[in-house]
Amino acid sequence: MSAASRPYVTVEAVAASSSTPIVRAPARVAFRDGAVSQVNMPLTGRVTEVHVKTGDRVKTGDPLVTLTSPDAAAARAQVAAAIAEHDAAMHEVTRQDTMAKSGVGVDSERVAAQSKLRQSEAELARAQTTSSILGGGGGSVVVLRAPIDGTVITRRATVGAVAQPGGDPLIEIGNPTALWVIAEVFERDIAQVREGADVDVELSTHTQPIKGHVVSIGSALTGSLRTAPVFVMLDDATGARSGMFARASIKAPAGQQSIVLPTEAVLVKDGKTYVVYVKIGDDLYAPRNVDVGPSVDGKVEVTSGLKIGDKVITKGALLVDNASEQLL
């Protein structure tokens, strides 16, 4: 090493470390699975009144949208017709049973009456199911009601608009207490993340990080950045809002005693060989090939090639070997 380089180079003795690495990742707050309910129109109809606006808190059963629909009137009329047909079929079965007991009945007519009763029961059940989907109201009026407690997060319904089955939901309701954080962890760091790991989540609205833990790890990488979603349950979601940006610090499990160096201490030759410079005498340093694990938070574990007590260049290694690149 030249005398001019000496002030800019730091040499440290290798020591064992058991510190817990930290995986940091960008994140966002989102509703948990099942915490959002979409309200759609089961039949074609026209909106006549909207009872809520975005941000309103609602409870289960509260009216959301009122519509008129000729199909609704027809569906409810079918229920009345099905009830009348079912009553007539029951009366006929009773009459046939009475005649059979008196010895004047005809078996074929009795079997036919029983078959018609079963058909009427099935038709009544179908008509009642269709009518129940329409919610409150009568005739052609349909009242869509809140299926869960929560906050209105989207309102697409407007007075006069025509709503159809299969279209965009008229209202979306989210449960504000059912939130989690989705951290986008890079491919190189995902091996360090375990279910149950402690997490600190930073939000712009909080002065202190919120505690949480990993509940699930996505099995597929997404996007051009090659990240996997890591789902974090917050210990206290008070003040958090769906859509907020966050930053997650995930604590990887502490391993056995290992050698950990700053990433700038490890140089890369030919894009595949990892090298550190070890002191072998006064101002004399020799390259030594090493194997490394994934880099996390500016640190990298050296899995082989060094032993405790070796003195290595931890800062300024490029001044010794400017033909290599630093491990980033």
Q: How far apart are CA 1 and CA 57, in angstroms?
A: 70
Residue 223: the pLDDT is 75
pLDDT over 90 (residue 299): no
Residue 180: the pLDDT is 94
Residue that the structure tokens 């409870």 belong to: 59
Q: pLDDT higher for 50 or 126?
A: 50
Which of these, 283, 302, 279, 280, lies nearest to 12 by C-alpha position? 279
Residue 2: the pLDDT is 76
Is 245 in contact with 297 (CB distance < 8 Å)?
Answer: no
Share of the chain above pLDDT 70, in %: 92
Which of 14-18, 33-37, 96-100 comes out lowest in average pLDDT?
14-18
Angle between helices 70-102 and 107-133 (to 10 degrees): 160
- Would you call 116 exposed, middle or buried from its count of C-beta atoms within 10 A (0-12, 13-18, 19+)? middle
Is 185 in contact with 228 (CB distance < 8 Å)?
Answer: yes
**DSSP E strands, 87-149:** 141-145
pLDDT over 70 (residue 323): no
Average pLDDT (254-262) is: 73
Highest mean pLDDT among 7-11, 51-55, 100-104: 51-55
Dump pLDDT digits (tens) for 159-207: 999 988 888 899 999 998 899 999 999 887 888 888 999 999 999 888 8
Residue 303: the pLDDT is 84
Predicted TM-score (pTM) of this structure: 0.56
Is 286 in contact with 277 (CB distance < 8 Å)?
Answer: yes
Residue 296: the pLDDT is 67
Residue 191: the pLDDT is 81
Residue 6: the pLDDT is 82
Quote the mean pLDDT of the chain: 86
pLDDT over 80 (residue 326): no
Residue 37: the pLDDT is 92
Confidence of residue 20 (pLDDT cuts 50, 70, 90): low
CATH hierarchy code of domain 22-34+175-251 = 2.40.30.170
For the segment(s) 6-19+256-326, the CATH number from 3.40.50.970, 2.40.420.20, 3.40.50.2300, 3.40.50.300 is: 2.40.420.20
Residue 16: the pLDDT is 77
Is 292 in contact with 265 (CB distance < 8 Å)?
Answer: no
Average pLDDT (83-89) is: 91
